[in-house]
Amino acid sequence: MSRTALTGVLIFAFCALIRIGLVDRHGLWADEFFSLAMATGHSLEHPAARADPALGDYVEAPRALPPAAYSRYLKHEVPPSGLGRVVRAVFLSDTNPPLYYLLLYGWTRVLGTGDASLRLFSVLWSLACFPLIWSIATRLGGRGAAVATCILFAVSPFSVFYSTEGRMYSLLLLCSVSTAWLTLRIWDRGPGAGRFALWVLAGVAGLLTHYFFLFFWIPVVFWLQLHPGSFPRRLSGAGAILTALLVLPWYIHLPELLSQWRVTRYWLYVRPDNYQPIKRVLSLPWMTFLFGGTRFLNWSYAGVFLLLAIAAVPKLMSSIFSPPHSLLWFWLLGPWLGMVIFDLVRGTYISAVPRYAFAAMPAACLLVGLALESLKYRLRTVLMALIVFLCLVGVSRSYCGYYHDQYPEVARLLARQVDESDLILVHSFPSCVAGLARYLEQEPAFKTGVGFASWVGELGLGRVPADVEALAAGRKRIILVKARDVGWDDRVPAEIWLDDNAKLVETKKFPRNNAIFLLYFTPLDSTTFFGSPTSTAR
């Protein structure tokens, strides 16, 4: 094996180890629960009136049930539903295309719906990007650029986090890298039937994985029109038209999909805390390295990249903005500008959600890799070492759980504390209810007779006081779990009733990421709440 090949294998192994180490280290979060629901054919986000239990739709029961009644939405049924149910669930509940969920359906049929299985699916797509990124970097900057770029891809906190999340972003990444690699191939060598077909297929796959793939794909097509190379403009135009026609059967329903009511329909329109539009927009292209860092880390990154820019820009000015290198700028800036334009047109705040620019991450690694390769050996080594060190500090925050929800910890605590006389009342949205139920079921210490109830405020089913009284009847204690989107400063209707008609004896907070609150209530003047307990059996 040559020295270059051995270096590539070692970097790939390191890249894989970092990601595999995170697969089962922390519990899933709301969107990952949602992935499992869609892939197993269960709709979660529909209006209550449209729920069809026979087709696996989420139904909020009016009485307490065992956790299994809600965790089942994250599992395959027996016998499993077909692919048609998956497409139906996506149509009712999601605002993304169905390809990821259809592929995940097949994966989980074989390997199950466990946490590790879900996340390994994402790791697989991420690692498949590695040889393509190596090839692109070699084509644009040689072996040294390939080594630097792939090390950055391996250790970037942004790359590591979303490469291990049970969502479609790793698949989106592979579609983007594949399209860029094929674009360079046809630019260099001409279309060829096989390359042309693969280029179209990569575009179709990306557009059926995430709608924001458009922010990457349109600039790439535009770049080919500006710089056709060996790929005539008429063929790139024809390929773009063919790609659009192939995705049209799904995209023709896009207005209907976007107009449908969903439980979490409003979240992109909520202004984030401390949102600074200009600062957020300017940071998007370099979120690859700034992702999730402390202020000290961010300033350290800024200092290192400033030194890199001062040293490398004069050496690269003659080539970095000319083809084929200019493709990297279209690749990097397309998703960034697309998000900005989308926010301006729709009045949303997607620029505050860095994962929507994930397709641009390899371009950032490639540009930095090319910049490093242009430097003399000693300076390149020092700057590379500093960048890798800072990236690994950022990755360590993922290992310590700074960005992860704490549903397993909540379930573990509840399993130790509750008995058959308690009611666990979960106020959140359906994926979180199902996720907490899933982890409660997995706890050996959990008592099967404990009442478990869902209270999804957006569904509008819960009535105060009637439904709270019915759920509370005969219980010695009620544990209200407030998670995710309920608003930490606003009391929910069930909590207001409990404040007036019960005694708050304890509050626990799980502060990591999005806080989860546990509020423990007991009766005011007796050992049990009024009436007889409702059945926990179906």
Q: Is pLDDT of 201 > 60?
A: yes
The model's pLDDT over 23-59, given as tens digits with 9 standing for 90+, comes to 999 999 999 999 999 999 999 999 999 999 999 999 9
pLDDT bin (cut points 50, 70, 90) of residue 448 is confident
**Distance between CA 515 and CA 434 in Å, rounded?**
18
Q: Is pLDDT of 297 > 80?
A: yes
pLDDT bin (cut points 50, 70, 90) of residue 134 is very high
Cα–Cα nearest to 42, from 96, 6, 81, 98: 81
Q: Which H helix or E strand runs over 330?
A: helix 326-346
pLDDT for 334 equals 95
Task: Decide which of 186 and 489 is more confident.
Answer: 186
Cα–Cα nearest to 39, from 162, 127, 168: 168
**Distance between CA 459 and CA 263 in Å, rounded?**
7
Q: Is pLDDT of 537 > 50?
A: no
**Distance between CA 190 and CA 267 in Å, rounded?**
45
241 to each of 150, 237, 307, how far by Cα in Å?
33, 6, 44
Hey, which residues does 264 pair with through a beta bridge? Answer: none
**Distance between CA 65 and CA 57 in Å, rounded?**
17
The tokens for 364 are 């950032």
> In this prediction, what percent of the chain has a pLDDT beyond 70?
96
Q: Is pLDDT of 360 > 90?
A: yes
Cα–Cα nearest to 237, from 252, 216, 223: 223
Please give the distance of CA 332 from its chain centroid, rounded to a whole number.
20
Contact 30, 484 (CB under 8 A): yes
Task: Decide which of 83 and 489 is more confident.
Answer: 83
Contact 125, 171 (CB under 8 A): yes
Residues 503-514 have a mean pLDDT of 83
Is 38 strand, coil or helix?
A: helix
**Distance between CA 65 and CA 537 in Å, rounded?**
6
| 322 contacts: CB under 8 Å, gap ≥ 6 | none
Q: Is pLDDT of 191 > 50?
A: yes
Please give the distance of CA 270 from its chain centroid, rounded to a whole number.
18
pLDDT for 410 equals 94
pLDDT for 487 equals 45
The model's pLDDT over 249-271, given as tens digits with 9 standing for 90+, comes to 999 999 998 889 899 888 888 88
Q: For 519, phi and psi rounded to 5 degrees?
A: -115, 125
The model's pLDDT over 419-434, given as tens digits with 9 standing for 90+, comes to 989 999 999 999 999 9
259-263, 366-370, 508-512 — most confident range: 366-370
Cα–Cα nearest to 250, from 104, 118, 100, 105: 100
Q: What angle do CA 230, 235, 236 make, to 5 degrees?
A: 85
Domains of the chain by start residue, with CATH: 115-252+289-399 (no CATH), 407-523 (3.40.47)
The model's pLDDT over 54-82, given as tens digits with 9 standing for 90+, comes to 999 999 999 999 999 999 999 999 999 99
Burial zone of 310 (CB within 10 Å; 0-12 exposed, 13-18 middle, 19+ buried) = exposed
The model's pLDDT over 451-491, given as tens digits with 9 standing for 90+, comes to 999 999 889 888 888 899 899 899 999 999 998 654 444 56
